[in-house]
Amino acid sequence: MFPLQRGRRLRVNESIRSIVRETTLSPSDFMFPMFIAEGENYQVEIPSMPGIFRRSIDLTVKEVKEIYALGIRAVNIYVKVDESLKDNTGKEAWNPQGLMQTSIRAIKAACPEMIVMPDVALDPYSIYGHDGIITHGDVENDSTNEALVKMAVSHAQAGADFVAPSDMMDGRVLRLRQGLDAAGFHHVGIMSYSAKYASAFYGPFRDALDSAPVDSTDIPKDKKTYQMDYANRIEAIKEALMDVEEGADMVMVKPGIAYLDIVREVKNAVNVPVTVFHVSGEYAMIKAAAERGWLDHDQIMMEQLMCIKRAGASLISTYFAKEAAVLLNK
């Protein structure tokens, strides 16, 4: 039979394709992860992440103003802590004059409308490179939660709009909500890394912060006792639902492109915005392939970001945020 319905009628030219397009991207869909270091007028490119830098606070503030002008409205910030400040308690994480707290104040002073979501986890502050306090050779859940509450409250005191716990400790969202509320920060939100998988895609990020677990026979060699097994799907939905019940305002799936089935499952299950982290390894692969001429950088970048949005992301944390915003603004 001759087809009455011809899908190609809606693909004839770009004007038609644009009016029937189901998913669109804008700079406000992006959150830019930023790495901050001590010093002044300092920046160094991360070798495994071309175009991404560790910057001192002054240059970070300059970059924040630039990306805000492009339409990006959120930053996820991480700090490179001096080795001398690391221990097993993570106490530098809640130092009111620490690098993270000083960075938050500086960003909010320079660009008050930028949404600042500092990372909440102990790995940048740990001599062991783990997300929590090591007790009897393993990461101890409940004492870590107590430390994370102190850390989150210090971020709120510095001016953070959301705190972003990436540690994957059990029950930490409830403890953070209780701690923030008790300190008078009812308005500060929680964006929880709810389905954070134990992934090999994080390698360049750990290079950026020097936060990989140390090689020791006395402690876990990786983070698989608290980050999720990448073979699991139902567990991700359970984790996201529990975090919402405990008070999370947003939930996150991490990594991104390799986990779009999880993004859709979580999006269907929860009634809060879903953030997706397009992680360092995913970024590095595109950069490396594009440098060799194997892929078209901009087309692949935009296709991946669109696919993450299509899968259900309300917000995409991506190292491509600035580059993508420039293209979209054109």
Contacts of 119 (CB under 8 A, 6+ apart): 76, 77, 78, 164, 166
Give yes or no for a contact between 285 and 297, defined as CB atoms under 8 angstroms apart: no
Give yes or no for a contact between 256 and 276, defined as CB atoms under 8 angstroms apart: yes
What's the CA gap between 89 and 223, in Å, rounded? 18
Give yes or no for a contact between 251 and 274, defined as CB atoms under 8 angstroms apart: yes
Crossing angle (nearest 10°) for helices 57-69 and 321-329: 30
- Residue 90's nearest CA partner among 36, 55, 135, 31 is 135
Is 303 annotated to bind a ligand? Reply is: no
What's the CA gap between 117 and 95, in Å, rounded? 17
The DSSP-derived string for 82-108 is -GGG-BSS-GGGG-TTSHHHHHHHHHH
Give yes or no for a contact between 249 and 162, defined as CB atoms under 8 angstroms apart: yes
Q: Which of 196, 287, 309, 322 is catalytic?
A: 196
Residue 91: active-site member: no
Q: Which of 86, 108, 223, 254 is catalytic?
A: 254
The DSSP-derived string for 260-301 is HHHHHHHHHH-SS-EEEEE-HHHHHHHHHHHHTTSS-HHHHH
Q: Helix (H, G, I), strand (E, B), or coil: what is residue 13?
A: coil
Residue 254: active-site member: yes
What's the CA gap between 128 and 225, in Å, rounded? 15
Place of tokens 């990448």: 230
The rounded radius of gyration (Å) of the Cα atoms in the chain is: 20
Give yes or no for a contact between 230 and 198, defined as CB atoms under 8 angstroms apart: yes
Contacts of 209 (CB under 8 A, 6+ apart): 35, 78, 79, 80, 123, 124
Catalytically annotated residues: 196, 254
Q: Which residues are annotated as a binding site?
A: 239
State the binding site for Mg(2+).
239
